[in-house]
Structure 1
Amino acid sequence: MRVLMLSWEYPPVVVGGLGRHVHALAEQLAAQGHEVILLCRQPTGTDASTHPTEVENRAKVRVVRVAEDPAHLSFEHDLVAWTLAMGHAMVRAGHALLRGWRPDVVHAHDWLVAHPAIALAEAAEVPLVTTLHATEAGRHSGWLSQPLNQQIHSIEWWLANRADQLITCSVAMRHETAQLFDVEPAEIAVLHNGISPNPWRVSPAKVAEARASVQAKDAPLLLFFGRIEWEKGAQDAVAALPAIRRSHPGAVLAIAGQGGYQDRLVDEARRHRVRRAVRLTGQLPDQELAALLAAADVVVLPSRYEPFGIVALEAAAAGAPLVASTAGGLGEVVRDGETGLSFAPGDVAGLTAGVRRVLADPASAARRASAARDRLSTDFAWPAIAAATADVYAASALTLAAARPRPASPPQVDHPGADRGRDLPRPKIPSGNLLLG
Structure 2
Amino acid sequence: MQSLNRQAIALISDHADPAAAVGGEEAGGQNVYVRHVGENLATLGWQVDMFTRKVHSDDADIVQHSPHCRTIRLRAGAESYIPRDKLFDHMPEFVQSFQAFQRTHGLNYPLIHTNYWLSAWVGLELQKTSAIQLLHTYHSLGAVKYQSVQNRPQSADTRLKVEREILEKANCVIATSPQEENTLRSQVSTHGKIEMIPCGTDTSNFRLMSKLDARRQLQLNLHEQIVLYVGRFDPRKGIETLVRACALLKEKGVNNLKLMIVGGSSPHMPDGEERNRIEKIVCELGLKSEVMFAGQIGHDVLPLYYTAADVCVIPSHYEPFGLVAIEAMACGTPVVASDVGGLKFTIIPEETGLLVPPQDINAFAHGIHRILFDELWARKMRKQASANVIQRFTWGGVAIQLSELYRHVLAQSIMHEQPRNLRKPDLKNVLNSSFSKKSFLSVSK
Query: 1:340–1:369: 8 Å Cα contact kept in structure 2?
Result: no
1:250 aligns with 2:256: yes
How far has the Cα of 1:227 moved from its partner?
Answer: 1.3
1:119 aligns with 2:125: yes
Query: 1:94–1:120: 8 Å Cα contact kept in structure 2?
Result: no
Look up the SS of the partner of 2:358 in the other structure. coil
Q: Distance in 2 between matches of 1:73 and 1:299?
A: 31
Q: Distance in 2 between matches of 1:194 and 1:288?
A: 19
For residue 32 of structure 1, the aligned residue among 44, 63, 67 is: 44
Query: 1:106–1:120: 8 Å Cα contact kept in structure 2?
Result: no
Q: Which amino acid aligns with 2:340?
A: A
1:312 aligns with 2:325: yes
Note the residue ranges of structure 2 that are not aligned, 5 or more in a row: 1-6, 265-270, 419-445
Cα pair distance change 1:249/1:400, threshold 3 Å: farther
> Identity of aligned pairs, percent?
23
Q: Which amino acid aligns with 2:247?
A: P
How far has the Cα of 1:94 moved from its partner?
Answer: 3.5
Match of 1:336 in 2: 349
1:11 aligns with 2:19: yes
Match of 1:427 in 2: none
How far has the Cα of 1:123 moved from its partner?
Answer: 3.7
Match of 1:226 in 2: 231
Cα pair distance change 1:363/1:137, threshold 3 Å: same
Match of 2:69 in 1: 61
1:370 aligns with 2:400: no
Query: 1:10–1:20: 8 Å Cα contact kept in structure 2?
Result: yes
RMSD: 2.8
Query: 1:320–1:369: 8 Å Cα contact kept in structure 2?
Result: yes
Match of 1:41 in 2: 53
Larger RCO of the pair (alpha carbons < 8 Å, separation 6+): 1
Q: What TM-score does the superposition give when structure 2 sets the normalisation length?
A: 0.80
Counterparts of 1:94-243 in structure 2 under 5 Å? Answer: 94-97=102-105, 100-141=106-147, 143=149, 145-184=152-191, 187-201=193-207, 207-209=214-216, 212-213=219-220, 216=221, 218-243=223-248
Q: Distance in 2 between matches of 1:392 and 1:243?
A: 48
> Which stretch of structure 1 is more off in the superposition, 342-351 or 63-72?
63-72
Q: Distance in 1 between matches of 2:350 and 2:136?
A: 34
Cα pair distance change 1:217/1:379, threshold 3 Å: closer
> How many residues are aligned here?
392
> Which stretch of structure 1 is more off in the superposition, 375-384 or 233-242?
375-384
Q: Which amino acid aligns with 2:86?
A: D
Look up the SS of the partner of 1:247 in the other structure. coil
Q: What TM-score does the superposition give when structure 1 sets the normalisation length?
A: 0.81
Q: Distance in 2 between matches of 1:277 and 1:118?
A: 49
Q: Distance in 2 between matches of 1:217 and 1:53?
A: 45
Look up the SS of the partner of 1:377 in the other structure. helix
Look up the SS of the partner of 2:147 in the other structure. coil
Cα pair distance change 1:167/1:180, threshold 3 Å: same
1:293 aligns with 2:306: yes
Look up the SS of the partner of 2:318 in the other structure. coil
How far has the Cα of 1:72 moved from its partner?
Answer: 7.7
Q: Which amino acid aligns with 2:44?
A: Q
> Which stretch of structure 1 is more off in the superposition, 337-346 or 112-121?
112-121
Q: Distance in 2 between matches of 1:192 and 1:270?
A: 39
Q: Which amino acid aligns with 2:125?
A: A
For residue 278 of structure 1, the aligned residue among 270, 276, 291 is: 291
Q: Distance in 2 between matches of 1:134 and 1:400?
A: 35
1:346 aligns with 2:353: no
Cα pair distance change 1:152/1:263, threshold 3 Å: farther
Q: Distance in 1 between matches of 2:186 and 2:148?
A: 11
Query: 1:87–1:116: 8 Å Cα contact kept in structure 2?
Result: yes
Note the residue ranges of structure 1 that are not aligned, 5 or more in a row: 402-437
Match of 2:422 in 1: none
Query: 2:310–2:333: 8 Å Cα contact kept in structure 1?
Result: yes
Q: Which amino acid aligns with 2:379?
A: A
Cα pair distance change 1:255/1:51, threshold 3 Å: closer
Cα pair distance change 1:206/1:148, threshold 3 Å: farther
Match of 1:414 in 2: none
